[in-house]
Structure 1
Amino acid sequence: MKAEVATAHALVLLATLLVAGSFIASARLASVLNPYSLTLLRFVCSVIILAPVVLMQPSLRARILPAMPRALIISFFFSAFFVCMFEALKTTTALNTAAIYTLVPLMTAIISRLVLGEKLAQSRVWIYLLGAAGACWVIFTGRQADVLSLSLNTGDLIFFGGAVLMACYAVSMKRLYRNDPMIVLVLGILLGGCFWMTIALLATGNTPDWQLLDRQAAWQMAYLVVGATIGTVYLFQRTIVVLGPSRVNAYIYLNPASVALLSIVVGDGPIPLMTLPGIAIAMLATILLQKRAQSAVPVSTPSRYTD
């Protein structure tokens, strides 16, 4: 049992690194095409890979159409988040977006309280606020004057809106889930994303222009499709069965540290030293959430989906 839990933690760490890499890859792609084209390409490629797995199994194939109306709603928030991400990275950094992304659990909790009437433990609120404080430190690079004036650049503001959309995605997923096979729902969300991005391209008069992607950009898109989309969905769904959603979601606070590490590895240069305290605070939030979730869910029942 301990080996299974340790393996699950290792897989979540891998998924966290894949997500962190998506911020860096997206930053490099943001200037190549408009965000609707990039998001549509990401979804189309993911559908091409995932659809045969579902379509070849009659029991799964029969569940696609019943799930599509709900998947369309969920996919609106999901695809809009990626549009905000690509647009934001034109004027902000991968590290800043990773830091802002750590605000998603707090936003999700607030929206769940307002929409679903869910209660939230006070201890968890304090941990979310601690993570938010770490995020603010990274975003403002420890500059107190900017924190007090809430001086955000355009990209930060856009991605803050994206974080709200991701929180809405999480709440809509919980509200609209009907025991669908997860792979069917994921395929439905990807198909819905293709629909919404096609509508967005038609409404804005843009064209896909995917031929503008050079070889390097194509590899970066392949990473987003295989690693950051399909790979993370598989890893998170596999590990959530063992660890529970709270312990898996706690790893979101490692995103700034992961982006900082990967930025050095891929040659983007060192991060500002003043961001390190904020990264450390965010990592502390992960540790505290892990301890809280572990004490709430007995290790002897790893397959439960409760907190």
Structure 2
Amino acid sequence: MTAQADLDPTDRHNSHARGSEKLRAHAAMLVFALMIASSFSIGGLATRYVAPTALQAIRYAIAVLVLVPVSMLAARQPVRLPKEPHRFIVLGLLMAVYMVTMFVALRFTKPVATGAVFTLMPLLSAGFAWLLMRQRTRFDVLISLILAAVGAVWVIFRGDLHALLSFNVGRGELIYFVGVTCHAIYVPLLRLFNRGEPPLVFMLWAVLATLGFIALSAVPALAAIDVAAVPWLVWAAAVYLAIATTVITFFLLQYASLRLPAPKVLAYGYLTPTFIIILEGLLGHGWAGASVFAGALVTAGGLVLMATLPD
């Protein structure tokens, strides 16, 4: 008799339900990575007219305006101050630091260098998940993460071995590393800080706290905006970033973080460079070479292996 046959019907049903939930969590993170990738192309167009920090503040403000009525309808009650509000202050600060350091780092280094630093995030998250929740990561899962990271680095450096070997750690990389570390802590905290609130209510307070911290750094940039001169493209981009890549991606991240280990959740970020290349090609901005897509296949292979391994 197999182990599955030894289970009673209730246990088999529960096991099947858990398996289905994990499958949906993996699918959610695929959509998450695609949406994040789209934000680079759309955000890049908008930041031609407004400063990046101002765009982030506008994006989060619109997200809050959307979330307040939606969360009230979902919870069927007025929005009230949450219990243990320090949870959301911590989450908001971590996400704000990540967002701000990403743009500050780009003043001192190139996007390709920040992309390389980004690949450290899932491994850092594995360490923080163990420190915060004693959440262990299997050795074979770590190997699949490293394999996916190697493919992602190859894609980020466009298959240029010379560019990869000449990579130097400078001020910009160190600044962004601080942000990456904050994001690596953020994902396990989504599970640790969950107290059973409706997801939209939890999201509202986390996004509101993030807005508060980002707004502090964006005040000069916001004051410099000539509203009458801002084209409609910027407002359309801000709405898309607010709804698609803030509200929806936060919901997807929260959903997956409650069902998958933190390293598996963040590993899907490795697909972002590949999705960016595909989207840029579809937009008519040119396609990458075959060697770059080979790196993308390595990343995909690592993620498929990771998804099939036990947690």
After superposition, the C-alpha distances for 1:23-46 in whole angstroms (9 at most, x for unaligned) are 222233344333332221111000
2:260 is the alignment partner of 1:245:
yes
**Cα 1:173–1:233 shift into 2, 3 Å:** closer
Distance 1:68 1:41, change over 3 A: farther
Contact 1:76 1:196 in 2 (8 A): yes
Q: Aligned equivalents of 1:179 and 1:51: distance in 2? A: 18
Shift of 1:58: 6.5
State the AA in 2 paired with 1:41. I
Maintained 8 Å contact 2:151/2:295: yes
* Partner Cα distance (1:151, 1:159) in 2: 14
Deviations 1:232-289 (A, max 9, x none): 2344556677xx3256655333222211111111222223444223222211111111
> Residue 275 of structure 1 aligns with which residue?
292
Confirm or deny: 8 A CA contact 1:103 1:135 kept in the other structure.
no
Match of 1:284 in 2: 301
Q: Judging changes above 3 Å, is the alpha-carbon distance between structure 1 residues 20 and 155 closer, same or farther for their aligned structure 2 residues?
A: farther
**Alpha carbons of 1:125 and 1:51: their partners in 2 closer, same or farther (altered >3 Å)?**
same
Question: Which residue number in structure 2 is paired with residue 259 of structure 1?
Answer: 276
Q: Determine the structure 1 residue equivalent to 2:9.
A: none
Q: Tell me: CA distance 1:104–1:174, structure 2 relative to 1, closer, same or farther (3 Å).
A: same
CA distance in 1, matches of 2:257, 2:187: 15
Residues 75-110 of structure 1, C-alpha deviations (whole Å, 9 max, x = no match): 1111222223444567645x7766654442112112
TM-score, normalised relative to structure 2: 0.77
Provide the rounded CA distance (Å) in 1 between the counterparts of 2:151 and 2:57: 33
Equivalence map 1:128-277=2 (5 Å): 128-151=145-168, 158-201=175-218, 207=223, 209=225, 211=227, 213-237=230-254, 244-246=259-261, 250-277=267-294
Q: 1:141 to 1:158 in 2, by over 3 A?
A: farther
2:155–2:292 contact (8 Å) kept in structure 1: yes
Return the letter of the residue paired with 1:207: A
In the alignment, is the contact (CA less than 8 A) between 2:277 and 2:288 conserved in 1?
yes
Letter of the 2:52 counterpart: P
Answer with 20-29 or 187-196: which moved more: 20-29
Alpha-carbon distance in 2 for matches of 1:239, 1:173: 10
Superposition map of 1:44-63 within 5 A: 44-56=61-73, 61=78
**For residues 164 and 54 of structure 1, what CA distance do their matches in structure 2 show?**
30
Q: Which runs of 5+ in 2 are unaligned?
A: 1-15
Paired residue secondary structure (2:184): helix
Contact 1:92 1:154 in 2 (8 A): no
SS of the residue corresponding to residue 122 of structure 2 reads helix
CA distance in 2, matches of 1:200, 1:118: 34
CA shift, 1:201, in A, is: 3.6
- CA change 1:181–1:138 in 2 (3 A) is same
- Report the Cα distance in structure 2 between the residues aligned to 1:263 and 1:291, rounded to whole angstroms: 30
Q: Offset at 1:50?
A: 0.6
Distance 1:72 1:9, change over 3 A: closer
Q: CA deviation at 1:64?
A: 3.3
Query: SS in structure 2 opposite 1:268?
Result: coil
8 Å CA contact retained: 2:91, 2:186:
yes
One-letter code of the match for 1:44? A
Structure 1 residue corresponding to 2:121, chosen from 78, 83, 104: 104
Deviations 1:103-143 (A, max 9, x none): 42112112333455443221111112112212222233334
* Paired AA for residue 260 in structure 2: P
Number of equivalenced pairs = 290
In 1, are the aligned partners of 2:121 and 2:266 still within 8 Å (CA)?
A: no
Cα distance in structure 1, aligned partners of 2:39 and 2:266: 17
Farther off after superposition, 177-186 or 30-39? 30-39
Are the structure 2 counterparts of residues 188 and 66 from structure 1 closer, same or farther at C-alpha, using a change threshold of 3 Å?
A: same
Q: Which runs of 5+ in 1 are unaligned?
A: 297-306
Deviation at 1:185, TM superposition (A): 1.6
- Rg larger in structure: 2
> Are 2:37 and 1:37 aligned?
no
